[in-house]
A and B are shown apart, each in its own frame.
Chain A
Amino acid sequence: MRFLYLVLAALVSGVVVGRYLGPDFGNAYELVLYLLIFLIGLDLGMNFKMADLKKVGKSALLMPFLTIIGSLLGALVASLVLGVPLKWGLAIGAGCGWYSLTGPLIAQYSVVYGAVGFLANLIREILTILLYPVLAGKIGPRKAVVIGGATTMDTTLPIIARFGGREVALVAFVHGFVLTAVVPFLVPLILSLFDY
């Protein structure tokens, strides 16, 4: 639990610094992310056994599709509740946490909904960092992976590995990998289907 408080403190202090000081860290975020991914790979390489891969099984391949369907259903409800046109709402939901892709894709057609697409998916990523440790304890570390969407192969993978363990990190990576392959096709598809 102590580490979770450190995570919260890091996030809040980062937001405060970003909001009021606006420092230019260049591509430090990407570099630190790559370092973390390297460390995760190092840990996998030191401890991975083929038996672990077999444990990932079919459920790891089914989970990304449950994540997408659930995200689209959630976005459908949000659209109906907020009065947001389905075209934009479903495209935002189809982003599955990939804010840097979803925002610009939607912004090609609508700047306002592009901003919502960016922020909603960014918030999903932040909520994953905050909620995964709690949800992993309540519904299980494997099932809780779905909240991270496409981010579970990179940005939220460290927190999942930290609180879910090595085996769940493998599930999370496969989950994120499948979504990362699907989302770039799904968001434009939805935007074109509803192109009226």
Chain B
Amino acid sequence: MQIFIPLLAGIVAGYLLRRLGKRPNLSPVTNAVLLIMIFLLGVKTGEVKVEGLWLLSVSLVFAILTIAGSLLMVVRA
């Protein structure tokens, strides 16, 4: 739920900037921060101690099939 704090702060700040007639280009900074976040996610993933091929392969099958199931449902809906 902590996620709401920066989100709401951003929305309010963005609204105030709009009222002031200022619209800075956020794309470069957003892209840069996104890449840093993905790098840090990769670091977290690399730190996970996978005990054997079984754990990795079972997890991979679950991940793929749960994604496929969700996709199937939304495509058929």
Contacts and interface: CB of A to CB of B under 8 A. Distances in A.
A10 interface: yes
B43 A23 contact: yes
A37 B7 contact: yes
Interface string A23-55: 101001100111111111111111110000000
Q: Is the interface of A mostly helix, strand, loop or mixed?
A: helix
Interface string A55-88: 0000000110011011111110110011010000
B73 to A, nearest CB: 4
Q: What band does the interface of chain B fall in when counting residues whose beta carbon is under 8 Å from A? A: 35 or more
B3 A37 contact: yes
Contacts of A45: 10-18
Given A18-B42, A63-B74, A119 B11 contact: no
A7 interface: yes
Contacts of A74: 62, 64-70
Q: Is the interface of B mostly helix, strand, loop or mixed?
A: helix
B45 A39 contact: no
B53 interface: no
A15 B74 CA distance: 31
A118 B44 CA distance: 12
B59 A28 contact: no
B13 A75 contact: no
Contact of A116 (B18, B62, B72, B75): B62
Contacts of A116: 55, 58-59, 62
B40 to A, nearest CB: 4
Contacts of B68: 70, 74
A46 B23 contact: yes
A126 interface: yes
A149 B41 CA distance: 17
B42 A17 contact: yes
A11 B41 contact: yes
A162 B31 contact: yes
Contact of A120 (B23, B63, B74): B63
A185 interface: no
A162 B27 CA distance: 9
Nearest to B2: A34
A71 B69 contact: yes
A32 B40 contact: yes
B73 A146 contact: yes
A40 B3 contact: no
The 6 closest A-B pairs by CB, nearest first: A14-B42, A45-B14, A41-B10, A18-B46, A74-B69, A70-B73
